[in-house]
Structure 1
């Protein structure tokens, strides 16, 4: 069981690190790659073939601006791809606050699906990958159910404390 994490630029690393932390919390093996779909398409294609042969189950791909990375990956594999639109803070590109990346991912053409989370929400991308893995691996399913129960209990405790104050 494995997750491959891709991002197109080193500047995306701070957002995608959150994905790694969540996967680590659930003891899920992963590997991260910094490969631009626009600048290194051949290397990206070869890497996709490699991770498929290694038994990767899910791909998470973060990208900003035109956000071509998740769609490119999806066009090369049948593995589920979860896209993380990233708000590019580099003003040299005329950033649109991540809306450009979001629209690039959610407006994929038919036959090239990319599941997409909110802008910079790599936390939810990791959780969605865990949900996918939980359908195949019982140990992950158990951890996920425990995680959700703890979150629910914490919320109930917070509500009770608020009502008593």
Structure 2
């Protein structure tokens, strides 16, 4: 049975940032559950979710939060599953506060961290983690890489035509 990915956000206002991750995961055929939980407002619920995530069929947790951005760390503290943090840009410090809070974890509580608002890369990283034990998913990822390579080659061809016209 394939593992699921949890996409957890600290606030429903983070949802627009997470749409690319959700679409990417679903596009790869990965079962995805999306929830709102707060490290500060619902800490018991966040801890309970994380503690039971493996038993509930999850293989990776993606956590997005802005400002203090403690969500990924709180979830990581309560599980041995990989947790990927997405720092969310806020009006306060353009997401730098969230980036630093997400990436500066204490020893023993790792959180893989992507760029500010980097939801698509979080989904790809989650898929790569799951693909370690899922050959079908690994093939889908290889296909995605080939498509990216072909896209760059086409852009280069178009650029070369423009340069030749100068």
TM-score in terms of structure 2 length: 0.93
- The number of residues matched between the two structures is 160
CA contact (8 A) 2:50 2:76 kept: no
TM-score in terms of structure 1 length: 0.94
Q: Distance in 2 between matches of 1:118 and 1:111?
A: 22
Q: Distance in 1 between matches of 2:106 and 2:76?
A: 11
TM superposition shift of 1:46: 1.6
Q: Distance in 2 between matches of 1:156 and 1:142?
A: 21
Aligned-pair RMSD on alpha carbons? 0.9
TM superposition shift of 1:49: 2.9
Helix, strand or coil: the match of 1:43?
helix
TM superposition shift of 1:17: 1.6
Q: Distance in 2 between matches of 1:132 and 1:48?
A: 18
Matching residue of 1:121: 118
CA contact (8 A) 2:88 2:116 kept: yes
Moved over 6 A (4+): none
- Unaligned residue ranges in structure 2 (runs of 5+): none
Matching residue of 2:147: 150
